[in-house]
Amino acid sequence: LVDISGSAVFGSHTQFKEEYLTELCAVLAFSAIANNDKVGVMLFSDHIELFIPPQKGKQHILRIIREILSARPTGRGTDIAGALQFIHNALRKRSVCFILSDFLDDHYEKALRILARQHDCIGIHVWDALERSLPDVGVLRVADAETGTQIWVDTTSFRLRRQYAQTFDAHLAGTQSAFRRAGADFLSLGTDQPYVQALLQFFSRRSQVVAHG
């Protein structure tokens, strides 16, 4: 489940979040077919943009990657609850559901809990360094990527920069707690972090938890 809402286009370093998300999807998809598993994808914004049911095969994976790369969302907002409800109705067999998003949305915990009862759910939180730490660069005009609302902010204010960082940390902690309460796994990745090592460590920990019951 891939979030392609307006905020996914954001990027301040070498990669936009959407590019990072695409690479993550490709790695997960090719890992799945190497294990002879079926793979499907759902792209969502404030509604379902595209759903490709699970299938096997390299050509199928390449189609999925092409669709993610060429996706141009018609919606700018984010409706995670709607996406989770859709996939809950669409999947007939127990599956591993990766939810890739910045999780800038509310009121999806109930839908996540329902989905996690039947499927193995893993949230992958993707964020850009500039979303966590605001640099001191004077007065800036900033726009909300999902609503288009613009405001002026004075980045020379230490209090503002501290509040900005605290807001990010609080959102991350809240998202992590929501997944834990739902009985789902959670991984947070910055776009300036190499994801291969992080994924390997994450799945290694999961394997140890399963092995120890």
183 confidence band (pLDDT: 50, 70, 90): very high
pLDDT at 9 over 70: no
pLDDT at 44 over 80: yes
pLDDT at res. 94:
95
Q: How wide is the angle at C-alpha 144 spanned by C-alphas 139 and 146, nearest 5°?
A: 170
pLDDT at res. 135:
79
Whether the Cβ atoms of residue 51 and residue 126 lie closer than 8 Å to each other? no
Distance CA 18, CA 117 (A): 29
- Half-sphere exposure (Cβ direction) of 117: Cα atoms closer than 13 Å: 7
pLDDT at res. 5:
85
Distance CA 49, CA 5 (A): 10
* pLDDT one-digit tens code per residue, 153-167: 888 888 888 998 999
Helix (H), strand (E), coil (C) string for the chain = CEECCHHHHCCCCCCCHHHHHHHHHHHHHHHHHHCCCCEEEEEECCCEEEEEEEECCHHHHHHHHHHHHHCCCCCCCCCHHHHHHHHHHHCCCCCEEEEEECCCCCCCHHHHHHHHHHCEEEEEEEECHHHHCCCCCCEEEEECCCCCCEEEEECCCHHHHHHHHHHHHHHHHHHHHHHHHHCCEEEEEECCCCHHHHHHHHHHHHHHHHHCC
